Amino acid sequence: MKIIGSENKVNYGVFDDPVEFNYKEFQLLDFFGKEIRGFKKRFAFKRFNYIGIITKEFLIGFATVSLGYAYNVFTYLYHYKDGILYEFDTKGLDLGRGLKFPANPDEYKIQFKKGSSFLTIDKSHSNGKLFADGFLGKKLRFKFAADYGLKTHSPLRVLNPSEPTHWTFTEKCSPLILKSIELSFQDRPLVFDPKETTILYDWSGGFLRRETNWYWAAFSSILPDKTSIGANFAALVNESFFSENAYWIDNKRQRVPRLIFDFSQKDPYKSWRIYDEEGLVELKFVPEGERKDKMNLVFSKLYFRQFVGKFTGKFKTAEGKEIVFQDVYGFTEFHRSLW
């Protein structure tokens, strides 16, 4: 199905089947309904891909970001006992040279190259795979392959209005189970158990609001009884039509209408409560460390803090069964952008 139909109609909804991501056919309109063309339209289209590797000893988060006029690639290694061991962050002009980021959520190959650093993310729903290979900052090396398909993993894929003349498509899934993985830091293999390691996946692309804000939480784990769980929740963004919140139990997806993030803006290291009105989700998050970034330019501003820590709580399934878990590692974030 095409995401953009006739007469510039955006086909909002939840997509469990492949899509034709014909975003270039969309006529972007300004406040008064006049079409925006050329560089202004190109700069308005944003795309992101965030992936988390979560082991029982440490986690790695890495992302590629294309803003139309600038790109950002970052990664970090967080050890549960020793904190952040490594952080890599680079930015550049988004001319399709340093970072190549095709805009197709179903099939793509993202490629980044700068000096000795490189990153490839190869994703194909038709072939049921996700592959990543990276060496960033001459220190952190990761390479993994995982099965990932629409029918086998039930990702949440949602197309929502960002505002009356803008839209955003997002795809989320957690957890993915690894087929193979290699991790090393400073030329030394990292010690971990691949059988206890999970992947969480998050992709978004579209014409976001000029001022975009969100709260976010995501985690994945294999519980002691071998049940796999994962979640990806957001608030403040894309909530007008179809909820982009879900949790997964053994690859079975449960959508959640709306999440409430209750935390201290003044001291976000105090515990967070994340829950919904219907009682499907009840979480306590205790932050342990963070990665943050701040940018204050004439036409663009950015401020975010991404926290690493432990989730304790429960999910309630549609059948009324409760899945209880404790000290599961994952991420939260608050993000503010003017772009």
Q: Is the pLDDT of residue 299 over 80?
A: no
Confidence bin at 319 (pLDDT 50/70/90): confident
pLDDT over 70 percentage in the chain: 100
Question: Which residue stretches of 103-205 are H helix?
Answer: 150-153
pLDDT tens per residue across span 179-207: 999 999 999 999 999 999 999 999 999 99
Q: What per-residue confidence (pLDDT) applies to 111? A: 98
Position 95: which residue type? L
Least confident among 172-181, 240-249, 295-304: 295-304
Running DSSP on this structure, what letter comes out for residue 34? Answer: P
Confidence bin at 293 (pLDDT 50/70/90): confident
Distance separating alpha carbons of residues 191 and 92, to the nearest angstrom: 33
Burial class (CB in 10 A: 0-12, 13-18, 19+), 218: buried
Mean pLDDT, residues 221-242 taken together? 93
Q: Is the pLDDT of residue 339 over 90?
A: no
pLDDT tens per residue across span 98-115: 999 999 999 999 999 999
pLDDT over 90 percentage in the chain: 89
Q: Is the pLDDT of residue 318 over 90?
A: no
Q: What per-residue confidence (pLDDT) applies to 177? A: 96
Is 0.85 surpassed by the pTM of this model?
Answer: yes
Q: Is the pLDDT of residue 3 over 90?
A: yes
| Average pLDDT score over the chain | 95
Q: Is the pLDDT of residue 276 over 90?
A: yes
pLDDT tens per residue across span 145-172: 999 999 999 999 999 999 899 999 999 9
Q: What per-residue confidence (pLDDT) applies to 269? A: 96
Mean pLDDT, residues 255-263 taken together? 96
Q: What per-residue confidence (pLDDT) applies to 263? A: 97
Q: What per-residue confidence (pLDDT) applies to 239? A: 77
Q: What per-residue confidence (pLDDT) applies to 215? A: 96
Query: In this structure, what token pair is assigned to residue 175?
Result: 């957890």
| 213 φ, ψ (degrees, to nearest 5) | -135, 150
Query: In this structure, what token pair is assigned to residue 81?
Result: 């006992």
Confidence bin at 116 (pLDDT 50/70/90): very high
Q: Is the pLDDT of residue 132 over 80?
A: yes
Distance separating alpha carbons of residues 315 and 246, to the nearest angstrom: 11
Mean pLDDT, residues 74-82 taken together? 96
Burial class (CB in 10 A: 0-12, 13-18, 19+), 38: exposed
Q: Do 140 and 60 meet the contact criterion of CB atoms below 8 Å apart?
A: yes
Q: What per-residue confidence (pLDDT) applies to 320? A: 87
Q: Is the pLDDT of residue 302 over 90?
A: no
Distance separating alpha carbons of residues 102 and 85, to the nearest angstrom: 31
